[in-house]
Amino acid sequence: MERKKVTVHTLQARKAARQPITMITAYDYPTALAVDRAGVDVILVGDSLGMVVLGYPNTLPVTMEEMLHHAKAVARAHPSALLVGDLPFMAYQADIAEAVRNAGRFLKEAGMDAVKLEGGREMAPTVEAIVRAGIPVMGHIGFTPQSLHRLGGYRVQGRTAADARRLLEDALALEAAGCFAIVLEMVPEPVAAAITERLRIPTIGIGAGAACDGQVLVLHDLIGLFDRFTPRFAKKYADLHQEIVRAVQAYCEDIRSRRFPGPEHTFSMDPEELAAFQAMLEALPAPAPVAEAR
């Protein structure tokens, strides 16, 4: 039976009913099909694609055009999950009007249902403007990958009481600005629990403990397809990188030993047509010998 489309109101109802929200990244048509069939609530077309798909060292080089390209592919799967497009670095920080235009492109051109952006209270005016344009916004605080250099690397945020209070104030400011949900990344569990308790909107944790209203992981971390590193907060449910290596090694060996392709992988000709073809070949000049490699 086809699932009912997940909306921002669905997520709000899940929080009210204390039903955990599931969220995962996807970057193309086949993975969007797979994760949606698995029943995930939210699909994030994250700028993490810069690292796990495009091979960049971090998320900073990712462009709007790259994000839209992948978002369109995900949308073509017509998932029942809520689709969220990640606004990339410098697509929304410099100018509010540009931020609204770029957010609108995710809905108008790429078929997304909402957008996500990083930052706390300083982003509240931008969130308000995007929401006024009719575009749902998901916030993102704690460790924010686009601020990697300012934060001094991949560091847990909110370890001190003062920093934890700032995160709570950021979350409240984003809620007041109109965010429908907030991602909490690499935040101590007590801090994430306090924020979750005080917000009316759902929190989605990634390295923020079990008290959040939902959880998100990068698909490639979950299925073991990104071999560069696995974050501490990620749980690997499969090791597809090694499975791919094993499968391709077996394929190469089959070719070298002439076990592939076999008869079951080839096509035949009608016997009369084959005889006519062979007669035609006999009338042609003999093929030139293959030159030896020097």
Active-site annotation, residues: 185
Q: Reply yes or no: is the peptide bond before residue 271 cis, omega within 30 of 0.
A: no
CA-based radius of gyration for the chain = 25
State the Cα torsion 168-166-205-65 to the nearest 10°.
Answer: 120
Task: Indicate the residue type of 56.
Answer: Y
What is d(CA 4, CA 244) in angstroms, rounded to the nearest whole number?
A: 34
Alpha-carbon dihedral 138, 83, 185, 140, rounded to 10 degrees: -20
- Residue 154 · residue 181 · CB < 8 Å: no
Tell me the C-alpha distance between 48 and 53, whole Å. Answer: 8
The torsion angle over the Cα atoms of residues 277, 281, 287 and 290, rounded to 10 degrees, is: 30
DSSP-assigned beta bridge partners for residue 181: 138
The contacts of residue 87 (CB under 8 Å, 6+ apart) are: 47, 67, 99, 102, 103, 106, 115, 116, 117
Rounded to the nearest 5°, which phi and psi values hold at 214?
Answer: -160, 180
Nearest to 223 by CA among 78, 81, 34: 34
Cα–Cα distance measured from residue 147 to residue 143, given in angstroms and rounded to the nearest whole number: 8
